[in-house]
Amino acid sequence: MLKSFARFVPAVIRAGLVSTEGGPRAAAALLPNLARYWFTTAREIEQGAAATPDRTALIDDDGVLSYRQLRAQTRTLAHWLLGQQRDRGLDELRIGVMARNGRGIILPLGAKGYTGGHIFLLNIGSSPEQLRGIFEENNINVLFIDDEFADRLPTGAPVMDGITVVRAYTDDASDATGLTIGDIVVQTNVDTRLPRYPKHGNLVLMSSGTTGIPKGIVRPEPRMPFVIAGYLEAIPWRSGDTVQLSASIFHTWGWSALQVALATRSTIITRRIFDAEACFRQIEDYRCDGLISSPIFFKQMLDFEGNDQFDTSSLRYLATAGNAVSPALLRRTTDRFGPILANIYGSTELALAAAASPEQMQADPTIVGKVPPGTVLKLYDEDGNEVPTGETGRIFLYNETALKGYTNPNTPMVTINGLVEIGDLGFFDELGFLHVLSRNDDMIIVGGENVHPQSVVEVLEDMPGIDDVYAHGVDDDATFKRIAVWVVRREDDHGEGLSADSVRDWVRARLADHSIPRDVHFIDELPRNAVGKVVPRFLPGLNK
């Protein structure tokens, strides 16, 4: 605990989280807000309005909101939700949100903290069948949903009878009807009272599974999130920064970045649908200090022809999470933006596990960083024994933001000594930095040798003509398992000249024979989900 405080206090002071900004009034609100709302979105909005009421809080597809306006709209939405609970005789609010970045997801997150309800952040890739299962399993009674996803609602299913549907984002071209979030937040006839000390319901994030009902990961609202020091040690985030937030808020990385942005009273620039050119333009026009994104979006920005025409000199930091940062991507990012990329490593279940600063990334691109304060992270072998420094083990950890469990109690959770398995393999080096090799179930054994598909990807990313690549283990009659790769060609002479043999020769010259891919599939595009991860089940030839 003392070590956690020793890292936590300097980090939050450097970031300005405990600054005197806002004067005596803001200082007086600090402790009461913590006591009432803990470290919820509601608390960050309250404190932002107390300290910097006229600072711009959000610029999204619907316009501009100051911290004062953001607080007013969030509290009005909370009043309406409590009115729903009273008028419908609901025991508790169980709020679902299926929305892209913007106020359509931020306002419900804030309102949840004021009302004490539970909130479920739904993956925007969910199918109608998955949504029906989610609604039935979690008893959702209020749903905020963007117009573009409304046709996925299981219309006619009995479960919909118990759900009040609110349109979170309305496309001007849409002919949809019904209540919108904009209709609610302009109401003035408020006839409910917000609880002075609300209950603290669960925050539930959904897994990105493509089959069956997505797992609901139940996360507590933290009282003292020491892990935030890990973010602030790795990312030079400062009070009052302007940040472009491309990371999806319905996912752990985007949600946690939103919390940090509000806690630092930053101005958040975001768009519902990522567009590389628009992102560059926003960075230039608003002189952004930071870009919070993910590897797939960074790649799209780097691939955008003519990206060098935009002035991004205002950027002090880039931050990424969600997928591994390959050495090739780090080099390209550094060439375009400078040595300012920080990496955050974690999972939907376990949030932040490690963080690497730009300096650490430049020194060794294979590390994922230091373990943050308040986190216990250990590596175990298959027999449950802790492995020594330098040896590979399964990653287990726990901190205050880790999951409490799953909404379906029958969902298994692997633990050792109170620590939860994250699902990856890694090792600690002599300096205490964590290195992640692959997912547990991605590693294969070829002829008695361990092969991590990511190592093959990292080698092929440097091959001229390859635009995108993915590697995975497949069954093999001779060796039981073998590596296969899926390659997207670049639209140039190198891309046209690629062949299966040339790909194998490239790997043969750089890795051991057991890493040479048996199969090379050329495809037009890798199937990725909403947060940029490849969905293997959609890959042609995977099961051959």
pLDDT digit string (tens) for 480-491?
788 999 999 999
Determine the average pLDDT of the residues in 158-169: 95
Residue 19 has pLDDT above 70, yes or no: no
**Three-state DSSP class for 268?**
strand
- Residue-averaged pLDDT of the chain: 90
Domain boundary among 404, 439, 474: 439
Q: Is residue 543 part of a domain?
A: no
351 lies in the same domain as 454 = no
Do 329 and 430 fall within a single domain?
Answer: yes
Of 261, 263, 231, give the one whose Cα is nearest residue 249: 261
Rg (CA), the chain: 24
Both tokens of 365, joined, read: 């691109």
6 domain residue, yes or no: no
Per the domain annotation, does 167 fall within a domain? yes
Any domain includes 92: yes
Contact 162, 141 (CB under 8 A): yes
In CATH, what number is assigned to the domain containing residue 298?
3.40.50.12780
201 plus 247 within the same structural domain = no
Average pLDDT on 301-323 reads: 95
Q: Are residues 245 and 379 in the same domain?
A: yes
| Same domain assignment for residues 192 and 270 | no
Q: Are 240 and 52 in contact (CB under 8 A)?
A: yes
Give the pLDDT mean for 391-414.
89
469: domain CATH number is 3.30.300.30
Residue 322 lies in a domain: yes
Of 439, 468, 495, which residue constitutes the final position of a domain? 439
The tokens 């009034």 sit on which residue? Answer: 25
**For residues 295-322, average pLDDT:** 95
DSSP per-residue codes, 423-484: EEEEEE-TTS-EEEEEETTT-EEETTEEE-HHHHHHHHTTSTTEEEEEEEEEEETTTEEEEE
Q: Which residues, listed in sequence order, are joined to residue 52 by a DSSP beta bridge?
A: none
Helix runs in 287-393, H state only: 295-303, 327-337, 358-363
**Would you list the DSSP string of 21-58?**
TTHHHHHHHHHHHHHHHTTSHHHHHHHHHHH-TTSEEE
Expressed in percent and rounded to 5, the helix, strand and coil fractions of the chain are 35, 25, 40
- pLDDT above 80: residue 448: no
Residues 279 and 392 placed together within one structural domain of the fold? yes
Token match 């952040």: residue? 121
Please compute the mean of the pLDDT values over residues 57-70 and round it to a whole number.
Answer: 97
Give the DSSP letter of residue 70: H
For the chain, how many structural domains are there in total? Answer: 3
In this model, does residue 2 exceed pLDDT 80? no
pTM: 0.87
Q: Beta 393-398 vs 419-428: how paired, if at all?
A: antiparallel
The reply to whether 204 and 299 lie within a common domain is no
The helix-helix angle for 103-115 and 67-88 (nearest 10°) equals 60
In terms of domains, do 346 and 487 share one?
A: no
Separation of first and last alpha carbons in the chain: 52
Last residue of some domain: 439, 454, 483? 439
DSSP assignments along 124-153, one per residue: TT--HHHHHHHHHHHT--EEEE-GGGGGGS
Q: Which of 85, 96, 50 is nearest to 71 (CA)?
A: 50
**Residue matched to tokens 């633990």:** 415
Q: Where are the alpha helices (DSSP H) in 92-213?
A: 103-115, 128-138, 181-185
Residues 237 and 377 occupy one common structural domain: yes
Q: Are 393 and 387 in contact (CB under 8 A)?
A: yes
255 in the same domain as 403:
yes
Which DSSP helix (H) or strand (E) runs through 531?
A: none
* 530 touches 208 (CB < 8 A): yes
**Residue 181: inside a domain, yes or no?**
yes
Cα(58)–Cα(70) distance, integer angstroms:
8
Q: Convert the pLDDT of each residue in 183-222 to its tens digit.
A: 999 987 778 899 999 999 999 998 765 557 888 999 877 7
Residue 289: which of 323, 255, 319, 320 has the closest Cα?
319
Contact yes or no for 498/452 (Cβ under 8 A): no
- Name the helix (H) or strand (E) containing 79: helix 67-88
- 384 in helix, strand or coil? coil
Domain co-membership, 162 together with 53:
yes
More confident residue, 17 or 94: 94
Of 173, 129, 181, the closest CA to residue 148 belongs to: 173
Q: Which of 123, 125, 167, 124 is nearest to 142 (CA)?
A: 167
Range of the domain at 517: 446-538
Q: What is the pLDDT of residue 17?
A: 65
Which two structure tokens, joined as six digits, stand for 453? Answer: 């598909």
Checking if the pLDDT of 296 tops 70, the result is yes
pLDDT at position 29: 79
Same domain, 462 and 429: no
**What is the spatial distance between Cα 256 and Cα 259, in angstroms, rounded to a whole number?**
5
Q: CA-to-CA distance for 427 and 371, rounded, in angstroms?
A: 12
Which pLDDT does position 15 carry in this prediction? Answer: 61
Any domain includes 88 = yes
Q: What percent of the chain has pLDDT over 70?
A: 94
4 within some domain = no
pLDDT grade, residue 452 (50/70/90)? confident
In the block, tokens 């959770």 appear at 413
CATH number at residue 107: 3.40.50.980
Q: What is the pLDDT of residues 508-531, one digit of tens each?
A: 988 888 889 999 999 999 998 877
pLDDT at 190: 79
By the 8 A CB rule, do 72 and 187 touch? no
